[in-house]
Amino acid sequence: MQPTISIPKDWKYPRFTFGQQTQQGLIIGMEYKPANTQFAYQYGHGWRYTVLPDKHSDEVRHYSDDQIQTLSIAEIQEQLQAEIDEHQQQIKALQQQLKAIGGSTDA
């Protein structure tokens, strides 16, 4: 069963999704600031996103819709390839450890 998030009919849909990579970082949270509330007066109404700028850090930042920029297709491909390369290096290191203790490295 897929998890479902319901958005009230009088709210706009968010422009970005959980887990989406943007120029600012990875979106890890979202919250809606309804118009005519104290939060809306302080931060502006609409969606605000919690972004993890660096996956190796615990620092997060908060942005509104208009402060976030999407990545180009080339930037997404570059990031995905870098992640694949990182995982492949980790696999090689683990295979070397396994070989060193006399285990098999056959997949």
> Hey, where are the domains in the chain?
9-70, 72-107
User: What's the pTM?
Assistant: 0.74
102 band by pLDDT with thresholds 50, 70 and 90: confident
> What's the first-to-final CA gap in the chain, in angstroms?
31
* Burial letters 49-75, b for 16+ CB under 10 A, else e: bbbbeeeeeeeeeebeeeebeeeeeee
Confidence (pLDDT) at 44? 80
Of 81, 63, 83, the closest CA to residue 22 belongs to: 63
CB–CB of 65/46 below 8 Å? yes
Confidence (pLDDT) at 3? 79
Task: Summarize pLDDT for 41-94 with one digit per residue, the tens.
Answer: 887 888 999 999 988 888 999 999 899 999 999 999 999 999 999 999 999 999
